[in-house]
Structure 1
Amino acid sequence: MVDNGNGASSGLKKVRLKMPVQVEDLRDLEVGTVVYLDGVLYTGREGLYNKLLIERDEPPVPLQSISNVNFHCSPAASVHDDGSYEMGAVTATASFRFSKYLTEWFETSKCKMIIGKGGMSVEDYKTHFVPHDAVYLTTVGYGTGALLGRGIKHVDVHWLEELGIAQAMWVLTVENFGPFLVESDLQGNSLFEQQNRIVNERVEETYRGLKPPALKRYGETTSRDDEVV
């Protein structure tokens, strides 16, 4: 792990990790740390999980020999005349949908890091991630797909015809790939959960004194704990 210290403009701790990641390096990660990655990772979501865990197909390549980092994403890929592929951008997809697969996935793949969008519940982190010494990184905002694409140096793909572009297993060689945020550490702490608590403590104070909304959708709540109207 290379510690790049605190960014002068953001004040956030930044690190670069080499893949496959080492548990010793993961122990030093704190929620909110900015992470950049070097090495090889693979994409995999419900299509890959179903083939390997439900249909019990053999993996196209030995997972543990490739990487221990799994990216939940949808790539923007194109094929060249010589049959090689280029990935100009890659956008993360919401990971909470894949919770039911994760305990078996960690046991099968020996994955130690999952990258996705939006995080998962603290219960998921405690149930699936913590027992397997795994962490979760989240992408930052919706406009970083092309930025991530700049860090992709080489692309291989498996099960493209069977699963399609979004669901295929893409093997990406990357350099300075990021930025990502540590959403959950090895203890199962959640950056989003921590920030939600801080925000919720101030919600009522923020809206105190405002008139009730004149218009609202059918069934919409005006409880600030449930929904910001």
Structure 2
Amino acid sequence: MNEKKIITSPFHDDTIKSLKAGEMVYLSGVVYTGRDAAHKRMCESLKAGMPMPFDFQGAAIYYAGPCPPKPGKPIGSVGPTTSGRMDLYAPALMDKGLKIMIGKGLRDTEVKNSIVKHGGIYFAAIGGAAALMGKCVESAEVIAYEDLGTEAVRRLVVKELPVIVAIDSMGNDMYTEGRKQYAVD
């Protein structure tokens, strides 16, 4: 029987490099949320020389727009959104230090190459299980772009959030037949 693999933020390079495409892991610690509108603002802020809403070093961003919490709960359902919608922004954010992304679905070649170039990783969260994912959240607070509502950047503290390594730091992609390698130019 395989032992449950739990990794805790901040995520270090050695931990990232040890994970392989297709492997199931559980994330604990701080994870930030952000979707399309937040990513667009972060990239606009980068171009303007402004600081990011959180330190990317060792941090993970979860492509999710949480539902409002029920009374007494930190958050409502928090399922992953389609990661391809962030592909336009991910390489620029990775150039500034972001390495860990969580979402669902395929990533384009430029993102895969950025993952390899920066020693990053892409985790697939379980689509259709937003209520289960919400139960892993111990606390949640909006830290940036509150005017975006569900798309605001939130700081979540999670306990054993289940994810699968979709693209590992070597570019192996569980979505691609044969776990193809991606070269960095």
TM-score for both structures, normalised by structure 1: 0.69
* 1:72 counterpart = 2:30: no
Unaligned runs of 5+ in 2: 181-185
RMSD: 2.6
When Rg is computed on C-alpha atoms for both structures, the one with the higher figure is: 1
Write the mapping of 1:1-229 to structure 2, written as runs, cut at 5 A.
6=2, 14-55=4-45, 56=48, 58-59=50-51, 61-64=53-56, 68-78=59-69, 86-108=74-96, 110-121=97-108, 123-142=109-128, 144-159=129-144, 161-165=146-150, 167-178=151-162, 180-194=163-177
Structure 2 contact 8–29 (Cα < 8 Å) conserved: yes
CA deviations on 1:68-113 (whole Å, 9 max, x unpaired) are 1010112112386xxx9721210100111211211211122x2221
TM (norm. structure 2) is 0.84
Q: Which has the higher contact order (CA 8 A, sep 6+)?
A: 2
Q: Contact 2:63/2:82 (CA < 8 Å) preserved in 1?
A: yes
Counterpart AA for 1:113: I
TM superposition outliers: structure 1 runs of 4+ over 4 Å: none
Q: Is the 8 A contact 1:40 1:174 kept in 2?
A: yes
Count of paired positions: 178
Identity of aligned residues (%): 26
Q: Which has the higher strand share?
A: 1
Q: Which amino acid aligns with 1:87?
A: I
- Structure 1 residue 125: deviation in Å? 4.2
1:137 to 1:64, Cα distance in 2 relative to 1, 3 A: closer
